[in-house]
């Protein structure tokens, strides 16, 4: 262990090049926290919209397998069940 003596000069003393003392970083402000929360909510919303847009269709509809001539009696062989996404105006 070294003992400092009275005439010891601190490093950088006398030439003005002493160590700069910086303020300790504080916690983010309330505005920064609200901004971070809004960004997180937007990310969750985009992810939810993407999941909804890429999800498989959940409703099945009966469609004609081929063109049907007027007057033709429709049978089970003429129809098929297909899963589709339809807008509410067409349901």
**What confidence score (pLDDT) does residue 11 get?**
57
Burial annotation 26-64 (CB, 10 A radius, 16+ → b, else e):
eeeeeeeeeeeeeeeeeeeeeeeeeeeeeeeeeeeeeee
Closest by CA position to 63, among listed 46, 47, 80: 80
Can you tell me the mean pLDDT for 22-36? Answer: 86
Token pair 């809004």 is found at 38
Residue 18 has pLDDT above 60, yes or no: yes
pTM for the full model?
A: 0.47
Residue 37 has pLDDT above 60, yes or no: yes
User: Poorest-confidence range of 4-8, 54-58, 81-85?
Assistant: 4-8
**What confidence score (pLDDT) does residue 91 get?**
76
What phi and psi values does residue 39 have, to the nearest 5 degrees? -65, -40
């Amino acid at each position: 262990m070294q003992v400092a003596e009275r005439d010891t000069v601190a490093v950088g003393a006398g030439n003005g090049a002493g160590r700069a003392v910086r303020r300790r970083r504080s916690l983010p402000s309330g505005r920064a926290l609200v901004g971070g929360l809004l960004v997180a909510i937007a990310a969750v919303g985009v992810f939810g919209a993407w999941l909804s847009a890429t999800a498989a269709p959940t409703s099945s509809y009966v469609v004609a397998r081929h063109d049907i001539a007027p007057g033709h009696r429709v049978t089970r062989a003429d129809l098929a069940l297909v899963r589709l996404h339809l807008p509410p105006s067409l349901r």
